[in-house]
Structure 1
Amino acid sequence: MLRQIKLVLPKLRYQSFRGQQHTWRLRSTSASERALQYQVGQKIHGFTVKEVVAVPDLFLTAVKLTHDQTGAQYLHAARDDSNNLFSVLFRTTPMDSTGVPHILEHTVLCGSKKYPCRDPFFKMLNRSLSTFMNAFTASDYTMYPFSTQNGKDFQNLLSVYLDAVFFPCLREQDFWQEGWRLENDKPTDLSSPLVFKGVVFNEMKGAFSDNESLYAQHLQNKLFPDHTYSVVSGGDPLVIPDLTWEQLKQFHATHYHPSNARFFTYGDLPLETHLKQIEEDALSKFERIDPNTEVPNQPHWVTPREDHVTCGPDALAPDPSKQNTLCVSYLLGDITDTFEGFTLNLLSSLMISGPNSPFYKALIEPQIGTAFSSVVGYDGSTKEASFSVGLQGMAEEDTERVKQIISQTIDDIIKDGFEEERIEALLHRIEIQMKHQSTNFGLSLASYIASLWNHNGDPVELLQISSYVAKFRQSIKENPNFLQDKVKHYFKENTHRLTLSMSPDETYVQKQAKAEEEKLQKKIQALSDTDRKEIYEKGLELLAVQSKTQDASCLPALKVSDIEPNIPITSFTILVHTGGVPVQLCEQPTNGLVYFRAMCSLNTLPEDLKRYVPLFCSVITKMGCGPLDYRQQAQQMELRTGGMSVSTQVIPDANELNTFEQGILLFSSCLEQNLSHMFHLWSDIFNSPRLEDKERLAVLVMMSAQELANGIAYSGHLYAMTRAGRDLTPAGHLQEMLAGMEQVRVMKRVAEMSDLSSVMRYLSRIKKHLLNPENMRCAINATPQAMSDATTRLETFMKDVDKTRKRHKLVRPDVVKVSFVRLNLCDSDLIFLYTESIRTVPFCHQDYSSLRRWCKNGRRSVLLLFLQVGLKDPNSVQTLSAFHKGVEWAKSGKFTQQDIDEAKLSVFSAVDSPTAPSDKGVARFVSGLTDEMKQNHRERLFAVNHQDLVSVAERYLGAGQSMYGMAILGPENNVIKKDPSWIIQSS
């Protein structure tokens, strides 16, 4: 995938404190300033301070420490951000494809010495106000991060995480459940056949069914053939059954040790508190060892290599006759050379990013393929970096042509170099990214430094972005051929390069199934009758444990009383432009950036054009405008803005399910000094977009269709959810058309057209209806100092686009009464995703809060569809039965006050997720949700009781009492064929 430097900043302001334990936040000095008081050599709770460095680029102070007893490394990033984060990273270097680090990641979260209940990780989701909880297995490390805004919650989660990773139970039953096992297909039937089961086993079968993931895995394995990168760290489904429980425990003993650990904390909570808890709860119980987990450099080849792999055909490919992929990948330098990595990352962007890049011109625009290969650009996730470039969606006969183009393009870059304006645009992008404030900066930072730190690089050095920019500028000044020399060294003269092709094989799926069956039979043939009986009995034991209600009383938990009773109020001003356009102004500490949004209504758009609105949104900022062709437009957008985008919006009404708003959302950002340039670009897009370039449109259509087809593997659950809800409300129907499987098929049909003239006419008609101030409202978030200039520039923009505009009468969307339910089967080669949606109530309804308790994770939408999702499940009917048992449990009222309180915590965790300055007031602007509405909803959430939950379960969740929709995303299911009752006809 395309990888570029991306550092974004969270909110820069003091947060209100929760409870007496947080009164330290009222101190006059900032967290960053307080951290500067630490001294090198200072001893703190078993740690020694090694380095204290101010990082003004990111408004933080970095404190590096080492644990004296074990050698564990520690980095603290002190910053005025209440969304505090913890992570612990272990270097995990498997030497086979059994998936041992991945299975271990799952298994350690199944119970520990202090918290022996099953799945404490998932149970903590309902016992905390965490803003993030997860774990990741990469090629050579495993990381366990969480974040929260509550100090007490931080300590609770830290206790659970430390005990999980350092003192897990690692029960054999947990290994069977999470890794792999032999079990009867029907666990209660001894005569049913034995099959492979296991969470990771099934998860990796899903990953290997995705062609993009499969190609990326092959590419890495073959580029680094001599050590840990030559194996599948996540696990190859055909190799996972070779892993034993004993091997899993041994891997934990050597890899999950403090001597092999790197701790990272971030935010405004005190460092001393973290160190004390980590020392007392975990590190004091270990002695130093030599884990011997280092990754050596890959021996460089003296001659380039080529290889070929196969995959399954893609039924949704834009052109079924063009499903080949070819990519050339180059081994670069060690990632611990931070400036070299910075330079190569920038060089990668110059080579492949955007329509002005040489590889885009050479590979994408001739329409040889549909898009860049799934792996493209700079990759610094391994000890030595790599760069890859190629095409997907190409014909097999174009293989040699693509190889020649890649080689020739490298020669051209060495000869011609890069335009100075393109380099400045790229450096401007870095400046924007450094100034932009996000709500998950701690997590972004942990991920950004992970690979380098994992291989003993200096993570603090990596954060000195401005110094790298200055050194980069100086290098180019001293040597005008600086970048060309890098291209010559790393690409032209590099003999360690791999050319990997991939083609579809009609029998691929059958071959994989046959190989799995042979593996299974080999295992079965080695079993005695006693073994079979033992497997059956263990299957029953696991089923019993999984079905048993677990006692989670040992786990720490917040109380509902720890939740703030009131939401913070967002101040804003509403102006009305002289042309009647409402403008919302929200003054925020945006760090010198201005954020502009505009909502344009779809109300006047004819129905036959609506299915093409997503395409319009994807191309309108990429076709050129005014005097600028699409290359010049892209250059100006990079030089003057932080990006300009347009997206579809379907917004259900907060009070009425059958009413909704339909529109498109324009979004852009820029530095304050570039306001006039940004609005001038929007003026040209409104007044004179260049929609007549058929060749450019063809390129964008093909790329869009390929992106949608590829996205199903990653977002299948969202497609299934959208499909299941399409017939429940008018908004759901439109959402399926604009963002569901229906839109995937529309784009596939468009991509197959030999002549796009009719589509171009559709886009021109859409533009006349949508880019119209008569149907528009705007919003600006900026600093108080910049707001006056922003409103003046917006006024000028409005006058520019309002001169020759026709007036359209605003109409309310038709209200459609829905009176049927339907089962929707979607054809796809994916494994199964099952979804059920139930029509309930809108946001402001008194029952919404009670129903949201059942949803637990809630939805940002003001329309509540009760959703149940079964992922990667080939047993759809069984899943349906299990879901309905859950509904019966809800209606029975067999839940405790503790269950209710935990559900409230889970809901408030989502409700109280932090909001960046750029997004303050956006919910009101886009969805009409006022602070008063949200506060009323909050008070109803607090008030939800046992009777409320039973009542809404009976009214809305019972079969026959509500309209509901179901969807399965996956190939046709034999189980469904045998059960006609599954097919529900529309009435």
Structure 2
Amino acid sequence: MNLKINETYHGFKLVDEKHIEESNSTGRLFRHEKTGARLYYLSNEDDNKVFSITFKTPPADSTGLPHILEHSVLCGSRKYPVKEPFVELIKGSLNTFLNAMTFPDKTMYPVASKNDKDFENLMDVYLDAVFYPRIYDHKEIFLQEGWHYHIEDKDDEITYNGVVYNEMKGAFSNPEDVLGRKVQETLFPDTPYGKESGGDPDEIPNLKYEDFIEFHKKYYHPSNSFIYLYGDGDVLAHLKYLDESYLSDFDHMEIDSKISVQEPFEGQKEFAFNYPVGESEDLKEKTFLSLNYVTDRCTDGELHLALDILTHILTDAQSSPLNKALLDAQIGQDVGGYYDGSILQPVFSVVVKNSDEDKKDKFKAVVKETLEKLVRDGLEEEVVEGAINITEFKLREADHGSYPKGLIFGIEIMESWLHDQDPSIHLKYQGYIDKMKREAKNGYFERLIQEYFLDNPHSSLVVLKPEKALAIKRDEEVKNHLEDVKKSLDEKTLDKLVEETNWLIDIQNAPDKKEDVDKIPVLPVSAIKKEHEKVPLEVRNHKKAEILYHQLETNGINYMDMYFDVSHVSKEDVPYLSLLTRYLGEAGTKSYDYVKLNNAIEIHTGGIDFDLDIYGNVDDPDDFNPKFSVKSRALETKTKETFDLIEEMALFTRFDEKQRLKEVVQSIKSKMEMDFMTVGHKVVSGRVMSYLSDTGQYVEYMAGLEFYKFISQLFKDFEQKWEDAMDKLKQLARLILDVNGMTVSITGGDEGYSRFADCLSSFYEKLSDVPKEKADLTFNKGPLNEGIATPGKVMYVGKAYNIKKLGFDYSGAMQVVKLIMSTDYLWNKVRVQGGAYGAFFSIGRNGSLFMGSYRDPNLSATLNVFDKAHEYLRSFEGSEGDMNKYIIGTMSGVDTPMTPGMKGSYSTGNYFRKVTDEMIQKEREEILSCNIKDVKAAADMIKAAMDKNYLCVLGDEGKIKSEKEIFGTIINIFE
């Protein structure tokens, strides 16, 4: 398509056009002449189209106004006056992404879909939401999503409730989140970055509805908007739609949303803050230390990428210079480096976890001495080469997991575009990479260290210390404050507050009008392909090894995954086997010390990972197949080097490096402790599943709470146990690398396969060939029904059972039930009415059924919701249109776009689980034919599962102990 600079198309003037070679795209920058709205269209052949509209939303305080507004505008609009159009879209669209995001300086509303009509529908719902939300005449939206005084009877205590309020209570229970907040607060006291855009729970109740409305009036206007489109869509058609349907209704408005720059400090500043820990926890080695440096501007593309690479060089692995120096000096148990380039003045931080306050001076000294030495002596060439190469590989691969790459590009362009600079700055990276390769030997990165770290006075040292009873103290302060609020109310005002609470509950319980729900656009089921997409799979053999070949276009990359059967490893050794996967690649080998090993991996590959994977039998929840895996990705031309490195680590790792083992154990322990606070729903899911099956038990000893207990004990008694642990790891390494039961998955083209086959023969000959008997992998099981107490102020609640153990069969219709439960019943009962941030229902082909909540203020109330789920399904009614909507939404999850590497892994997993194409097609047909009878039939299944009463809860220690009668046992996970 030929468009001309300075010409106007449907109200949009084309300001600039560039070819973006790195993504094979054409980037066109437009300006809407009537309103001043900015639009960037990244055109290419990707059919996974992305749209987003972003507003610059600098917060004036920490009440969380931008975050609450992000939630609220998606609660109904002019054209779509239902309570939850966002949820209706989840139910009835083929979206590949649907969400909204609050950043420290902007709010983004992105959607994605591969279906043209669906894409247009998603755009329309989101545009109507942001420009014409129902918030102006429906105050209940603010009360529900933000905060409100909750009191259902005048004799009750007053409490706070609200979705964002509870979400941020959870976030502020995590010390890493608190630390990140305090870093920005201390570095930018005079700018919006010094405020919490997500909301501080102590400040959220200060937000007034009137200020909430004014914020929308000021910032949610086309003149303050940044519109982004990506993919193979019709550029002119989209411009015409945007102008005629929305933008032409507005006039230009002057909006002061400029982000101010923080004046640099004259010298480093030091701050200390506290975070809550449990009453029984030891305070020793629980402090976080963070050194933070403000760099230049995020609008400098070269500097932005260079500092990202420099962060990788200095701190990305335990072998990195800063990490190694700090670990060697025993400053703390884990070290991490972070570069936040998403804000106007980017920040580099080096953080030590599990330290003590009295080590802060030594911490500063070690960082300073290490950086000075690196500038004086120069960075190792191999370290720099590896960091640049691995960064370039990842940029070219453009694999972002569940996020469409078009969305990632959309987030990246905002880092410059938001501040009125060229949106393509961060997309055109190759020139920067080439320059760094040329200049690296001439002190390029050393100069950055000198200028932005050593000579930079705009920095802070933040000390985050543990404090017992802090959570209890804060709870008491809130409780006393609310008691005072209640005492201050006269009888009439108290009655009015009770009335408002129950009014809100009534609104939340009331269904939307059918005619309003029908206004949400829904695709016909005919838009879905009847046949599932088959991933190419050819089973080949190499002596005793089995080869799974997935012939796919991978842009010259080989994805090589090796799997070794470990069913002969005893259950007592499973934790050691899991530890082995973390130790390999982090220790030295016969030919490399661990620093040079990491360099070699980054120079020659896109990454080599060791893991322990479990593949369950879909027909028997107690039958599973554990595999020790080695997963690699590299350019086809680097296949030999990749095999050489795998061989070096798999066969010649050193098992005598005491300090390396200690550092690995420390790091595992630290990361798992963070997981308990941030992804508690996953911990709960794994734990309750372990009550049910040998598979679940194995996973617990491999990666769950039992593994954490093992790691904690090993760390505690390290001096007495490290040699025995090393011996065990060495024995296991020799035991598991065997050709018997070996499977290799290769995803790529024929040229890549040919190179792979040549290398495999040599590697194969070095492996053991001794058949082994399977171990007894049966465990003691049963409903422990644990309450896992933490200092967190929210709950993660879960109940589960396996339907096949109850005599029920799995069918694809269960996936439709999953969507109905998650987006209707649980969403309304647990999130909307209960105030939790999230709730979900899952069921797998193997029969495992789970209901859970995320950042939930409730415990028994949520369990009660789970127990009554069957009643909802038993009385479920819906029209043919409703069922079509649920089927469409279900298929959106089934047909999630995958990269070539993901397709290979998916196919391999199905092969191990004995899931055939016929089974996948049958499930698809069962989804497409699902009806109300199928949904209602699930009621008995869910009731039977919930009646087994297998439950687990993680979170607020006080809440768990106050409802102790629910649990079989209560445990504190932190010492």
Q: Fold conserved (TM > 0.5)?
A: yes
User: Which of 520, 532, 552 is the equivalent residue of 2:482?
Assistant: 520
Name 1:761's counterpart in structure 2. 727
- Equivalent position amino acid for 2:862 in 1: T
User: How do residues 92-111 of structure 1 correspond to structure 2 at under 5 angstroms?
Assistant: 92-111=57-76
Distance of 2:192 and 2:485 partners within structure 1: 27
User: Which of 167, 172, 176 is the equivalent residue of 2:139?
Assistant: 172
Distance of 1:594 and 1:860 partners within structure 2: 33
Distance of 2:659 and 2:276 partners within structure 1: 30
User: How far off its partner does 1:890 sit?
Assistant: 1.0
Alpha carbons of 1:812 and 1:77: their partners in 2 closer, same or farther (altered >3 Å)?
farther
In the alignment, does 2:871 pair up with 1:888? yes
SS in 1 for 2:847: strand
Distance of 1:465 and 1:978 partners within structure 2: 55
Distance of 1:57 and 1:333 partners within structure 2: 25
SS in 1 for 2:800: strand
Distance of 1:356 and 1:53 partners within structure 2: 40
Distance of 1:543 and 1:605 partners within structure 2: 54
Distance of 1:431 and 1:716 partners within structure 2: 34
In the alignment, does 2:739 pair up with 1:773? yes
Name 2:443's counterpart in structure 1. 481
TM-score relative to the length of structure 2:
0.92
Distance of 2:8 and 2:557 partners within structure 1: 41
Distance of 1:482 and 1:951 partners within structure 2: 67
Residue deviations 1:361-401 (CA, integer Å, cap 9, x gap): 2112333201125xx33221221112112312112222211
Residue deviations 1:396-435 (CA, integer Å, cap 9, x gap): 2222111111121221122112122222112211231133
Distance of 1:475 and 1:38 partners within structure 2: 38
CA contact (8 A) 1:590 1:782 kept: yes
CA contact (8 A) 2:436 2:444 kept: no
CA contact (8 A) 2:416 2:425 kept: no
SS in 1 for 2:73: helix
User: How far off its partner does 1:932 sit?
Assistant: 2.4
Residue deviations 1:634-666 (CA, integer Å, cap 9, x gap): 111111111111122122112333321112222
User: How far off its partner does 1:104 sit?
Assistant: 0.6
User: How far off its partner does 1:953 sit?
Assistant: 2.5
User: How far off its partner does 1:896 sit?
Assistant: 4.0
In the alignment, does 2:850 pair up with 1:867? yes
Alpha carbons of 1:476 and 1:741: their partners in 2 closer, same or farther (altered >3 Å)?
closer
In the alignment, does 2:377 pair up with 1:416? yes
User: How do residues 587-666 of structure 1 correspond to structure 2 at under 5 angstroms?
Assistant: 587-666=551-630
In the alignment, does 2:909 pair up with 1:926? yes
Distance of 2:586 and 2:786 partners within structure 1: 35
Distance of 1:825 and 1:978 partners within structure 2: 9
User: How far off its partner does 1:115 sit?
Assistant: 0.8
Name 1:255's counterpart in structure 2. 219
User: How far off its partner does 1:972 sit?
Assistant: 4.4
CA contact (8 A) 2:587 2:657 kept: yes
- Equivalent position amino acid for 2:47 in 1: S
User: How far off its partner does 1:505 sit?
Assistant: 1.3
User: How far off its partner does 1:736 sit?
Assistant: 2.1
RMSD (Å) for aligned C-alpha atoms: 2.4
Alpha carbons of 1:142 and 1:670: their partners in 2 closer, same or farther (altered >3 Å)?
same
User: Unpaired runs of 5+ in structure 1?
Assistant: 1-33
Distance of 1:747 and 1:892 partners within structure 2: 48
Residue deviations 1:746-798 (CA, integer Å, cap 9, x gap): 22222222321121122122212322221320011112332212222222221
In the alignment, does 2:430 pair up with 1:466? yes
Q: Give identity over the alignment, percent.
A: 26
User: How do residues 353-372 of structure 1 correspond to structure 2 at under 5 angstroms?
Assistant: 353-372=316-335
Distance of 2:199 and 2:531 partners within structure 1: 47
CA contact (8 A) 2:299 2:425 kept: no
SS in 1 for 2:540: strand
SS in 2 for 1:658: strand
In the alignment, does 2:359 pair up with 1:398? yes
- Equivalent position amino acid for 2:326 in 1: L
Name 2:953's counterpart in structure 1. 968
User: How do residues 41-56 of structure 1 correspond to structure 2 at under 5 angstroms?
Assistant: 41-56=6-21
User: How do residues 397-796 of structure 1 correspond to structure 2 at under 5 angstroms?
Assistant: 397-438=358-399, 440-476=404-440, 480-521=442-483, 523-551=485-513, 552-578=517-543, 580-755=544-719, 756-796=722-762
Name 2:893's counterpart in structure 1. 910
- Equivalent position amino acid for 2:952 in 1: A
Distance of 1:903 and 1:960 partners within structure 2: 23
User: How far off its partner does 1:316 sit?
Assistant: 10
Distance of 1:971 and 1:182 partners within structure 2: 21
Name 1:181's counterpart in structure 2. 148
TM-score relative to the length of structure 1:
0.91
Distance of 1:817 and 1:109 partners within structure 2: 47
Residue deviations 1:132-155 (CA, integer Å, cap 9, x gap): 111111111111111111111111
CA contact (8 A) 2:412 2:427 kept: no
CA contact (8 A) 1:356 1:635 kept: no
Residue deviations 1:493-536 (CA, integer Å, cap 9, x gap): 21111111111111321332233235434544553322211111
CA contact (8 A) 1:652 1:862 kept: no
Residue deviations 1:566-598 (CA, integer Å, cap 9, x gap): 1122223211112x1100111211111111011
CA contact (8 A) 1:839 1:964 kept: no
User: Which of 291, 313, 321 is the equivalent residue of 1:328?
Assistant: 291
Deviates more, 1:868-877 or 1:675-684: 868-877
Alpha carbons of 1:347 and 1:611: their partners in 2 closer, same or farther (altered >3 Å)?
closer
In the alignment, does 2:310 pair up with 1:347? yes
User: How far off its partner does 1:948 sit?
Assistant: 2.5
CA contact (8 A) 1:371 1:392 kept: yes
Distance of 1:419 and 1:647 partners within structure 2: 30
- Equivalent position amino acid for 2:368 in 1: S
CA contact (8 A) 2:803 2:945 kept: no
Residue deviations 1:523-560 (CA, integer Å, cap 9, x gap): 44553322211111111111111112223222111122
User: How far off its partner does 1:711 sit?
Assistant: 1.6
CA contact (8 A) 1:370 1:391 kept: yes
CA contact (8 A) 1:327 1:501 kept: yes
Name 1:942's counterpart in structure 2. 928
Name 2:204's counterpart in structure 1. 240
Name 1:30's counterpart in structure 2. none
Distance of 1:565 and 1:298 partners within structure 2: 57
Distance of 2:887 and 2:360 partners within structure 1: 57
SS in 2 for 1:691: coil
Residue deviations 1:654-682 (CA, integer Å, cap 9, x gap): 23333211122221111111110100111
CA contact (8 A) 2:67 2:197 kept: yes
Alpha carbons of 1:784 and 1:43: their partners in 2 closer, same or farther (altered >3 Å)?
farther
User: Unpaired runs of 5+ in structure 2?
Assistant: 823-840, 971-975
CA contact (8 A) 1:162 1:281 kept: no
User: How far off its partner does 1:244 sit?
Assistant: 0.9
Alpha carbons of 1:278 and 1:918: their partners in 2 closer, same or farther (altered >3 Å)?
same
User: How far off its partner does 1:845 sit?
Assistant: 8.8
User: How far off its partner does 1:692 sit?
Assistant: 1.8
Distance of 1:403 and 1:102 partners within structure 2: 35
In the alignment, does 2:133 pair up with 1:148? no
CA contact (8 A) 2:93 2:522 kept: yes
Alpha carbons of 1:686 and 1:315: their partners in 2 closer, same or farther (altered >3 Å)?
farther
Alpha carbons of 1:960 and 1:576: their partners in 2 closer, same or farther (altered >3 Å)?
closer
Deviates more, 1:438-447 or 1:704-713: 438-447
Deviates more, 1:776-785 or 1:211-220: 776-785
User: How far off its partner does 1:609 sit?
Assistant: 0.3
Name 1:91's counterpart in structure 2. 56
CA contact (8 A) 2:796 2:953 kept: yes
CA contact (8 A) 1:840 1:865 kept: yes
